[in-house]
Structure 1
Amino acid sequence: MALHVIVGKGPVGTATADLLAHRGHHVRVLSRSGGTSTDAVEHRQVDAADADALAAAAGGADVVYNAVNPPYHRWATDWPPVAAALLTAAERTGAVLVTMGNLYGYGAPAGPMGPETPLAATDVKGRVRAAMWRDALAAHEAGRVRVTEARAADFVGPQVPAAQSHLVRQLDTLHRGRRAWVVGDPDVPRSWAYLPDVAATLVTLGADERALGRAWHVPSAPPRSQRRALTDLAAALGAPPPRVRGIPWPVLRGLGLAAPRMREIVDVRHQFDRPYVTDASATTAIFGLRATPWDEVVAATARAVPAAA
């Protein structure tokens, strides 16, 4: 039975731990706050930026998953030491390092984004994520570690906290029939990554040698604009079609003076004012992974309303 060590216990870490445990693996979750261990999942309290502690806690691992999620406005300070510690832990243990990535490194999109799209970000957060992957790939090519990365679009699903999903945070609004205010243009197409598909991709990459040395995209349903996605969710809730409006950028800039998260969103405006679409055809071709059908995603996500209403 393989040992799978997951660093981070947010929605991605938790979903991945649950899937691995369901498949009969020994699962260990490392996080700053720790947790209560069960017969299925062991929890340990570890600072992910402490390379020695991380390597010791990951001892014996076959695969280490990076599911860390620093505060949005602290990526530039928090990610570099965590990323370095994870590479150290992977090198010392010999485990495969599977990182949960995102699309920030690509910068402003010129079309659908695939793993081969150049990492051309000019904003701070995008440069941080691009540097992390380049460092990991350099260590892989030098023979120090074995790495791969999964990149996903914005999360959706009942397992995702409202604060971490542009769609989930609107469920209560839809349920009450109120106006939905969204970031950016409500009508540009976007990809949405269903959290169980994210976990399935991470677990698959960690178990297949063909995944190593490159990044892969999580399969997603055909793109939908925020307006269309929210309309679909409203229908699943039995609510009327929503009134959807984009929050004016000057308003968001003003909010950013007091709210660091809003300031960071303004910094990546390109993600919301032009099509933001992923291409995961390589993941499907090589591993046979396919996105959960959109109607199933909508139905499952709508079930989160009782907790939100």
Structure 2
Amino acid sequence: MSTVVLGCGTVGRSVTEQLAALGEPVRVIQRSPPDSLPEGVEFAPADAVGGTGLAEAMGAAHTLVCTVGLPYSGKVFRRDWPRLARNCLDACARTGARFLLADNLYMYGPQTTPLTEDMPLARDGDKPSARAEVTRLWQEAHAAGQVMSCAVRASDFYGPGAQSSMLVAQGINRLLAGKPARMAFPVDHAHDYTYVPDFACAIIQLLDAPEGDWGQAWHVPNAPTRTTRELLAKAAEIAGVPLRVTVMPDMLRRLLGVFIPILSELEEMRFQWDLPYQVDSSKFLQRFGGTATPFEEGLATVIAVHRHSAS
């Protein structure tokens, strides 16, 4: 067994599908079996947060790719992300596997310039500080020679089946249903988005990379930066539907947050939307080359998959 993918959500499924298409042996691990898996992909149950059975489920894997998504709660992030990371690193140390984290950008906290991999880690905010702690854990494990580790970091992602993506769930899907996009935060600042298959492709490139490319973080390349409104307009154009966009007023969003937990949980992350939010992926491009999927292609795929699933 070469690679185990922990979690089979949007990103985990894309990694699994791409590895399977390459003919690579792959096993998916999570608490319960996914509804479906590509032909030839194995499944083994384990509770990575609770720490039950993870090393046993990994077997003789060469690499553990962690694509887990936890409930979007500051309390859960603080409690479970460090626990999950320690359990993964402990399991890798026991089995001799490498650890690759499919990561986001929360650990940088608010910034006013494009994000680079060498920015200092955030100390404030439940979600940024939790992800910063995870970063310190895998970096320390790698530096100590305990577990060869690295992280591949993506911006807010979109792609087929990405129902946790605000751009997809609250934007594109609503436009396709003849409704206005209903966005929680401003849509007119430049904002980088990562296409899920590009995220998976970058992860697989690191799997094949030499040891010298580990022990560090890498930013996934993105298509040239657009505003969220521009992407919604492009999606409407591709789909042949009217463009209508509403942005929730701050007071209304905070009021609704009393009754809709996700809105209150998003509040500490609004720095991503109040200013341009851009990612510098030049380090990855200089080392590995390649290009990101153009938005026109990615959005067309999202729309086609949504319409097929709705038919």
TM tier, smaller: over 0.9
Q: Does 1:30 align with 2:32?
A: no
Question: How big is each residue's C-alpha offset from its partner over 1:97-142, in whole Å with a ceiling of 9 and x where there is no partner?
Answer: 1101111111112111111122225211000000101111011101
Query: What is the SS of the residue equivalent to 1:126?
Result: helix
Which residue in 1 is equivalent to 2:155?
A: 153
**What percent of counterpart residues are identical?**
35
CA distance in 2, matches of 1:47, 1:298: 34
Which residue in 1 is equivalent to 2:124?
A: 122
Q: How does 1:93-172 map to 2 (within 5 A)?
A: 93-161=95-163, 164-169=164-169, 170-172=171-173
Q: CA deviation at 1:49?
A: 2.1
Q: Kindly report the root-mean-square deviation, in angstroms, between the aligned alpha carbons of the 2 structures.
A: 1.7
2:17/2:38 contact within 8 Å kept: no
Q: CA deviation at 1:308?
A: 5.2
Q: Does 1:70 align with 2:53?
A: no
Tell me the TM-score normalised to structure 1 length: 0.94
Q: CA deviation at 1:65?
A: 0.3
Of 189-198 and 27-36, deviating more is 27-36
CA distance in 2, matches of 1:238, 1:82: 44
Q: How does 1:211-290 map to 2 (within 5 A)?
A: 211-240=213-242, 242-290=243-291
Q: CA deviation at 1:173?
A: 2.2
Corresponding letter in the other structure for 1:34: P
Gaps of 5+ in 2: none
1:104/1:121 contact within 8 Å kept: no
Q: Does 1:188 align with 2:182?
A: no
Which residue in 1 is equivalent to 2:15?
A: 16
Which residue in 1 is equivalent to 2:58?
A: 58
CA distance in 2, matches of 1:284, 1:297: 20
Q: CA deviation at 1:177?
A: 4.0
Corresponding letter in the other structure for 1:44: A
Gaps of 5+ in 1: none
CA distance in 2, matches of 1:52, 1:301: 36
Question: How big is each residue's C-alpha offset from its partner over 1:173-206, in whole Å with a ceiling of 9 and x where there is no partner?
Answer: 2124432221211100100100100000111112
Q: CA deviation at 1:281?
A: 0.9
Corresponding letter in the other structure for 2:16: A
Of 58-67 and 34-43, deviating more is 34-43
Which residue in 2 is equivalent to 1:44?
A: 44
CA distance in 2, matches of 1:178, 1:260: 23
Query: What is the SS of the residue equivalent to 2:145?
Result: coil
Cα separation, partners in 2 of 1:246 and 1:86, compared to 1, 3 Å: same
CA distance in 2, matches of 1:54, 1:117: 32
Q: CA deviation at 1:258?
A: 2.2
Question: How big is each residue's C-alpha offset from its partner over 1:42-73, in whole Å with a ceiling of 9 and x where there is no partner?
Answer: 01111012446111111211111001111011
Corresponding letter in the other structure for 2:298: V
Tell me the TM-score normalised to structure 2 length: 0.93
Which residue in 2 is equivalent to 1:80?
A: 82
- The alignment covers a number of residue pairs equal to 305
1:4/1:63 contact within 8 Å kept: yes
CA distance in 2, matches of 1:178, 1:51: 43
2:257/2:263 contact within 8 Å kept: yes
Corresponding letter in the other structure for 1:206: L
Cα separation, partners in 2 of 1:37 and 1:112, compared to 1, 3 Å: closer
CA distance in 1, matches of 2:202, 2:213: 10
Corresponding letter in the other structure for 2:106: Y
Cα separation, partners in 2 of 1:188 and 1:38, compared to 1, 3 Å: closer
2:8/2:30 contact within 8 Å kept: yes
1:171/1:305 contact within 8 Å kept: no
